[in-house]
Amino acid sequence: MKNKKDKILLKGMHFFGYHGVLDEERRLGQRFEVDLELVLDLQPAGQRDDLTLSISYADVFKTVEAVVIGQPFRLLEALAERISQQVLEQYPLVEEVVVKVKKPGAPIQGCFDYMAVEITRERDR
């Protein structure tokens, strides 16, 4: 029986990128934090102890890193969307991805931990 609740979690990935609405954000850059939840059936990998039936965390990390350090986006929404697209394109076992992009240094006066967006995207079947 397939378990639709299985997840691989990658939390607190830190990268430096050049995203933002303000010119200075795109010129100076800043730190971004990304959390991912990958929904897929982990039972075959767990039963057989076989990575080819799952997904390499290191590979997913590199995929996210390439997006965040790559093309600048004005909006966190666009950055999260690109991450979700790349994950779904590169990892066919992933049925659904939840992407949270955090911006701890958002140029807003006041005290806060971070500003963030979170999106959920499913594979078209």
End-to-end Cα distance, the chain: 19
Bridge pairing between strands 96-103 and 7-17: unpaired
The reply to whether 103 belongs to the active site is yes
Q: Would residue 76 count as lying in a domain?
A: yes
> What CATH number is attached to the domain comprising 11?
3.30.1130.10
Q: Would residue 19 count as lying in a domain?
A: yes
Question: In the prediction, which pLDDT does 53 show?
Answer: 96
CA distance 71 to 61: 17
Q: Locate 85 and state its tokens.
A: 């697209």
Closest by CA to 90, choosing from 73, 65, 118, 119, is 65
Q: Would residue 25 count as lying in a domain?
A: yes
The neighbouring-strand residues paired with 117 are 101
Q: Would residue 2 count as lying in a domain?
A: no
Residue 116 has a CB neighbour count (10 Å cut-off) of 17
Ranking 5-14, 28-37, 51-60, 103-112 by mean pLDDT, the lowest is: 103-112
Catalytic pick among 7, 11, 62, 103: 103
> Which domain covers residue 36, as residue numbers?
7-122
Q: pLDDT tens across 26-60, in order?
A: 999 999 999 999 999 999 999 999 999 999 999 99
CA distance 38 to 120: 10
* Domains of the chain: total: 1
Q: Would residue 1 count as lying in a domain?
A: no
State pTM to two decimals: 0.93
Q: Would residue 40 count as lying in a domain?
A: yes
